[in-house]
Structure 1
Amino acid sequence: MTAPIPVSAIPSSPGRASWRKEAAAVLVAFAVLALLPFVVTDSYSRHVLIMAFIYAVVASNWDLSLGYGGVFNFGHLALFGIGVYAYGLLTKFAGIDPWFAMALSGVIATIAAIVVTIPILRLKGIYIILVTFGFAQLVMQVILSQSDYTGGTQGMVRIQTLYIGEHNMIRDGKFAYFYIALAMLFLSTVFLRALVRSRIGAGIIALRDNEEYAVSRGVSIVRQRIVTLAASAFFTGVAGAFYAGYQRNASIDVFGMSLATIILSMVLLGGTSTIYGAILASFVLTIFAEAMADLGAWRPIITALLIIGVMLVYPTGLAGFIQSSWNGVFRRDNKVA
């Protein structure tokens, strides 16, 4: 009988760029983003970019569980909401330092992800969707029931903002907030890509592609599923905490289907199992939606048509479109040479 092969022995996925090339590309991309505040000087445009950074963190982490893990976790936005309210409660009632509260919010979201993972360890398909969706509704009802602390349907206001020494972050045209959000996105992206390129990531993908075979080779469903959802939760909770500190309020709307639809659209439009595709789609949809702000009810219709059009032509999303275009140019150059 063949002995089980541990996850550490699973080979890396073939056919991808070396980590050095990928790291160089990521550094160049974020260096370009870091220069934007010197080009985009008005606070409103910076606000749009900050919101794109927040959405990119949430969407790319959802891609880890949904795309790479194949887990239909529709409670992912609840982890974002937990981060929002955890930060508000920790800073407003517990008097915890905002920076520490932001990190602690990520930890609380991770613990919540582990808790919701336990009942879905042996479930598949629609049952995972039902349990995780029920978890999101449960969290929302708990927040509504504790209105003395959470504000109920009115939400929490005047939440303590982040700070950098004596610097006034409210009056600097969102300059400091921009770089904090960018740093958060950078750390989240590096973490996610390091994870999916690791042996653990190979085990996560193996379970998604062929669960029976992966289990027969020694991959643990319990361990991998817990790792997948927990890993996708930390920066999602941190993003929620940053959102609360940035907006200075917490609303029950973060648990609504509207935000969930937006983030899911970013994951699908960007292309699942890419991380970078979700980030790119977050910028495209956020900026595109703001550019059409004057169109009123036509804005969501046009956005939906854009998503449908891209998905029909390129089911692999924007990441697939870019990859196909790059391969086409590369092959053309080789033929010319």
Structure 2
Amino acid sequence: MSVIETSAPTVSAPPRAPGRTPWMTELAGALVGLLVLALLPLVVGDAYGRHVLIMVFIYAVVASNWDLSLGYGGVFNFGHLALFGIGVYAYSLLTKLAMIDPWVALVASGVIAVVAAVVVTIPILRLKGIYIILVTFGFAQLVMQVILSQSDYTGGTQGIVRIPGLYWFDHNMVRDAKFAYFYIALAMLALSTLFLRVFVRSRTGKSVVALRDNEEYAVSRGVSLVRQRMITLAASAFFTGIAGAFYAAYQRNASVEVFGMSLATIVLSMVLLGGTGTIYGAIIASFVLTVFAESMADFGAWRPMITAVLIIVVMLVYPGGIVGMLKALWGLATRRRA
């Protein structure tokens, strides 16, 4: 009598998409980066240095969320900075006029920005190209005109001053050399980045990228263009509105300058220089551009021109931006080691 031995079939893990970093590796890298940022106050001890880092975190949140709609969604939403401005004024009015708790107003400002994003999405649901830019730019101008016209509440061109700031129990956040605001801004950046990366790696994120790469094929496979475009713009609005609210709480004033082209140009430069469709690229570029601009403060009027030349050179050599450059250098180092 013979006994036939059979071995259990081995089940192999599904293959990973080419060029896609395993989530455990990405999480480990993100935690290391967060730890490094958390230790920066030990190196940067002066209040001005921490102020620069706080502004970097704010820019990074706005730029990385813009990258979600622009880089991953392929929607050139030029009204993205209007969502930031809406967060600024929503927090200002909620805390100064409605006397709402600053932390509640911070979250409520993000929700209001999401509602505004849904409103601006309705006219562009089936538009493409330059028409999306025109409609969203018009939306930004409309919001600014509404704020200017309601000067009894918004202060008009004078803005709003003495806005209530955030608080942390009994800690004096005014005289701690911006220590508390630094860690609040860092926590905001960490939560925003986690949200964006989870969204991008989800099924919804994959369908958004599919629409960007081949809209006709994605729609034929059952992906709803209307629903996914609305979800993308709404998702990119929440932390953008919170960043605007935090900016108002930190600066303790609100001005229509947040709707200007100057800020929009700076943030868009961060998205493009870092590399669209990366999230991390916009964050890295926020550090590079802000620190680079601050280090050239003595150059006066030459500073923006030098910064523009830097962006042009990087984009010409590495169209993928800073992330593309880092990947190329990593590939070169790996080949040499092999």
**1:81 paired to 2:85:** yes
Question: For 1:148-202, what per-residue CA distance to the aligned partner results, in whole angstroms no more than 9, with x for missing partners?
Answer: 1110001000000000011110100000000000000000000001111111110
Matched with 2:261 is: 257
Question: For 1:47-101, what per-residue CA distance to the aligned partner results, in whole angstroms no more than 9, with x for missing partners?
Answer: 0000000000000000000000000100000000000000000000001000010
Aligned partners of 1:19, 1:304: CA distance in 2, in Å?
35
Q: 1:293 Cα deviation (Å)?
A: 1.0
Matched with 1:292 is: 296
Q: 1:14 Cα deviation (Å)?
A: 3.7
Larger Rg: 2
Matches within 5 A, 1:150-189: 150-189=154-193
Matched with 2:245 is: 241
Matched with 1:110 is: 114
Matches within 5 A, 1:315-326: 315-326=319-330
Aligned partners of 2:200, 2:68: CA distance in 1, in Å?
8
Matches within 5 A, 1:184-223: 184-223=188-227
Q: 1:280 Cα deviation (Å)?
A: 0.2
Aligned partners of 2:277, 2:253: CA distance in 1, in Å?
33
Aligned partners of 1:19, 1:93: CA distance in 2, in Å?
44
Q: 1:265 Cα deviation (Å)?
A: 0.2
Query: Taking structure 2 as the reference length, what is the TM-score of the superposition?
Result: 0.95
- Percent identity reads 77
Q: 1:15 Cα deviation (Å)?
A: 2.6
Q: 1:332 Cα deviation (Å)?
A: 1.3
Q: Which of residues 215, 227, 233 in structure 1 aligns to 2:231?
A: 227
Q: 1:294 Cα deviation (Å)?
A: 1.3
Gaps of 5+ in 2: 1-14
Runs of 4+ in 1 over 4 A off after TM superposition: none
Q: 1:327 Cα deviation (Å)?
A: 1.2
Q: Secondary structure at the match of 1:166?
A: coil
Matched with 1:60 is: 64
**1:45 paired to 2:73:** no
Matched with 1:4 is: none
Aligned partners of 1:153, 1:34: CA distance in 2, in Å?
37
Aligned partners of 2:226, 2:189: CA distance in 1, in Å?
28
Aligned partners of 2:184, 2:117: CA distance in 1, in Å?
25
**1:272 paired to 2:276:** yes
Q: 1:42 Cα deviation (Å)?
A: 0.2
For these two proteins, the number of residue pairs brought into alignment is 324
